[in-house]
Amino acid sequence: AQKVTQAQTEISVVEKEDVTLDCVYETRDTTYYLFWYKQPPSGELVFLIRRNSFDEQNEISGRYSWNFQKSTSSFNFTITASQVVDSAVYFCALSERQGTGNQFYFGTGTSLTVIP
């Protein structure tokens, strides 16, 4: 079973629209971490945010905001007033303890296209 599910494969929006990228995760750990990464056309994954399982406060950073809800195992990402530069593939990831270390699980990504 997928540990991290990003059901939206591709999304297209017109510039200045808001868009929400969904992420649902599965874990039995009580302590875990969730991440969002952006992969622009250049290919390098860029870290956007990390959230631990004990902090359900929503976070806002400029046009970006994240909604973490443990009750629904979701960690959704909203871009407000989208811009062409937001066009990228976005990955949600889960980190949980495994043995002596930790392992990341990535979703399959959501490709966002912002149309000018």
| Binding residues for other proteins (CB under 8 A) | 9, 31-33, 35, 37, 42-47, 50, 52, 91, 93, 95-97, 99-104, 106-109
Least separation in angstroms between residue 31's CB and other proteins is 8
Dihedral in degrees, nearest 10, Cα atoms 70, 72, 76, 78: -110
Choice between 56 and 104, CB closer to other proteins: 104
Nearer to other proteins, 67 or 108 (CB): 108
Place of tokens 């969730």: 34
Give the pair of three-digit tokens for residue 106: 């990535």
- Quick check: 23 and 75 in contact, CB under 8 A? yes
User: From the CB of 16, what's the least distance to other proteins, in Å?
Assistant: 29
Closest distance of CB 40 from other proteins, Å: 11
CB 105 within 8 A of CB 94: yes
